[in-house]
Amino acid sequence: MAERTRLGDVQWDSRGKYLFWWEGVSSVGQICQREPGGAKQIISGGRNVRGSVGYGGGEFAVADDFIIFTDKQGSLFRCDLNDHNVYPITPTWGGVAHPVISPDRKWVVFVFSDGKIDLLAVVNSRGLGWPLQLVRGADFYMQPVFHPAGEQLAWVEWDHPYMPWQAGRIKIGEVGGMQLRLFSEQWIAGDEKQPASQPQFSPDGKWLSYIQSNGEWDTLVIMNLRSHKRRTILVGDQILLSPPTWVQGVRSYGWSYDSQHIFIIQNYAGRCSLWKVRIRDGNKEIIPTEPFQWFTQLAVSTSDNSLAMTASSSTEPKQVVIYKNGKLHSIACSTEHHIEKTYLPEPQFMQWTSSAGVIVNGWYYPPTNPSYTLNGLAPLIVHVHGGPTDQNTLAFDASRAFFTSRGFAMLAVDYHGSSGYGRSYQDAIQHQWGVVDVQDVVSGANALLLRGLVNKERMALMGSSAGGLTVLNVLIHHPGLFRCAVCSYPVTDLIADATQTHKFERFYHRYLIGDLKKDIHRFRRRSPLFHADKICDPVALFHGEDDSVVSSQQSMQIAQNLQSRNIPCLLRLYPGEGHGFRKQETLVDYYSQVLQFLQTYLC
């Protein structure tokens, strides 16, 4: 297996001339730069560039002659672009993410967290002095952005027990002084009924824009900064403009350099489209983006409206692309491009009716290698995503090709609770986690059986994190339906999850399950750990030893139960890995072990 390159955020410098992006190779992140017509340069000086607040993200910011980036250990670093000199501007302490540089280049505002207190901090852009608190009082912060004049700052904040996509609110603060400080702040938009996100100022300084939930879908709103009059310029109807913000630095739209248009990514059911919206009247036109179907981290050049973003499709690996003069140009690509296209599965959108009588969505990926079929029917892997607010998309996924090229069919289930289908669909999991997801997964497998697409005797489950909880609950409530299951860093003990997980998700259980004190029996009933003696099918468990979200003890306890009853169980613990696997040696071992496990029990 070739060493995998991951691509993340993409940004122009403040002059709109040079492009920068984040690359991850194995467990190390780095910042790359490309001049027009030039070659790629790695400019992060050997540091491991990773956002260290929550699940990461928000790794860097660019001015005209320097960049600021985050180090995995919890420091901000500066790289001067004229000589590529790299040096720290904050001490190593806590977690840092999403730096933004003031228009006068003197200050850097960033998100800070020590796991107990979160705030917006400020530090001199050359590291002359200690970082200081700028904004504090909410439980969480995200997406700070400076007004072009530098005298205002907007940001997103929210409080427990909510998640940012449930109750994010946007504030604007007046800032200034010899040592940058906050003079006043004003609540602009967002609450538990209509959460808001992604504030941006127009380049001419007249408008503040933001995305706001409006019932079922999303809207794009602009507010005149003088009169505070608001206008919705893009009304959602089967339109989602912002994904659930699990990470810092999410950006799905941007202003044109002349402040006359906004470029924005729309998403529905895992398929993206790119649009240009006129501010004057909301008139919009689609931008052709074939062959790509999934986009993230849209950035608009301040000089000529060139667009940069990451792009992919089910058959096109993730790339950094530039849209200019009506054409898309790829400038960087993940190393997954070596996969032969004949082995890439063509996704087929599926809908079926669950046992509860409601429509469920998902994607079916047929096998691309018939050598493993039996009587013309392929073995099936039912994949359960995590979150549980994640969704399956038309983004490139090499892991699907890994399995379909070996003769497996895959069903990726967007169970109730998934994003991408409107708020009602997503909120259907409220207090029902461990119930509706189980129903949707089982009914999806049965739908494929009724359509004669897969072999009933050769079905497996696969899921990680929240998806792992669903997988184990399916085995508990439907023994024998699936021949085996693969779980990576699964949630198995909802009581421990509610009391021991990290700050970001500390009260997420109130939405997913209920009140721990009042509904303790519900927590026990839906925790696989307390019902592991009902599992009679083989299970493979994979977990990072440094997982701060779900303790590896949860997988170890499940394994001990199964092994004590002679139920086939594989347990692999990976040192140095957290909630998700990044190291090349880990991934090589993981896929080797999974394939051997599936071939043992399915083929």
Average pLDDT estimate for 324-353: 85
Which of 194-208, 362-376, 403-417, 521-535 shows the lowest mean pLDDT across its residues? 362-376
Average pLDDT estimate for 18-45: 88
Question: What's 88's domain CATH number?
Answer: 2.140.10.30
Which of 2-16, 320-334, 380-394 shows the lowest mean pLDDT across its residues? 2-16
Same domain? For 124 and 209 the reply is: yes
Average pLDDT along the chain:
94
Same domain? For 323 and 351 the reply is: no
pLDDT given for residue 473 in this prediction = 98
CA distances for 431 relative to 164, 225, 241, 290, angstroms = 18, 40, 26, 40
Same domain? For 332 and 418 the reply is: no
The answer to whether the peptide bond before residue 291 is cis (omega within 30 degrees of 0) is yes
pLDDT at 373 over 80: no
Query: For residue range 264-287, what is the model confidence (pLDDT) as tens digits?
Result: 999 999 999 999 999 999 999 999
Strand arrangement, sheet containing 181-189: 140-146, 152-158, 169-176, 181-189
Average pLDDT estimate for 593-601: 96
In angstroms, the CA 240 to CA 270 distance is 10
Same domain? For 103 and 142 the reply is: yes
Which of 306, 323, 338 is where one domain is finished? 338
pLDDT at 353 over 70: yes
Q: Which domain holds residue 471?
A: 341-602
pLDDT band at 42 (very low <50, low <70, confident <90, very high): very high
pLDDT at 337 over 60: no
Q: Give yes or no for a contact between 456 and 449, defined as CB atoms under 8 angstroms apart.
A: yes
Same domain? For 415 and 498 the reply is: yes
Same domain? For 380 and 262 the reply is: no
Q: Which of 10-14, 44-48, 475-479 has the highest mean pLDDT?
A: 475-479
Kindly report the pTM of this predicted structure.
0.94
Residue 502 structure tokens: 């990290």
pLDDT at 1 over 50: no
Sort residue 553 into left (φ over 0), alpha (ψ -120 to 50) or beta.
alpha
pLDDT at 302 over 60: yes
Count of domains for the chain: 2
Same domain? For 281 and 374 the reply is: no
In angstroms, the CA 12 to CA 61 distance is 9
Looking at per-residue pLDDT, the higher value among 465 and 373 belongs to 465
Question: What's 361's domain CATH number?
Answer: 3.40.50.1820
pLDDT band at 426 (very low <50, low <70, confident <90, very high): very high
pLDDT given for residue 343 in this prediction = 82
pLDDT at 503 over 80: yes
Same domain? For 334 and 356 the reply is: no
Same domain? For 525 and 378 the reply is: yes
Average pLDDT estimate for 184-212: 97
Same domain? For 319 and 445 the reply is: no
Average pLDDT estimate for 138-150: 98
Average pLDDT estimate for 314-332: 92
pLDDT at 75 over 70: yes
Same domain? For 332 and 345 the reply is: no
Virtual torsion, Cα 309, 314, 318, 323, nearest 10 deg: -30
Which of 323, 338, 353 is where one domain is finished? 338
Contacts of 527 (CB under 8 A, 6+ apart): 492, 493, 494, 495
Which of 338, 369, 385 is where one domain is finished? 338
Average pLDDT estimate for 568-589: 94
pLDDT given for residue 393 in this prediction = 95
In angstroms, the CA 254 to CA 337 distance is 29
pLDDT given for residue 369 in this prediction = 82
pLDDT at 236 over 80: no
Same domain? For 398 and 478 the reply is: yes
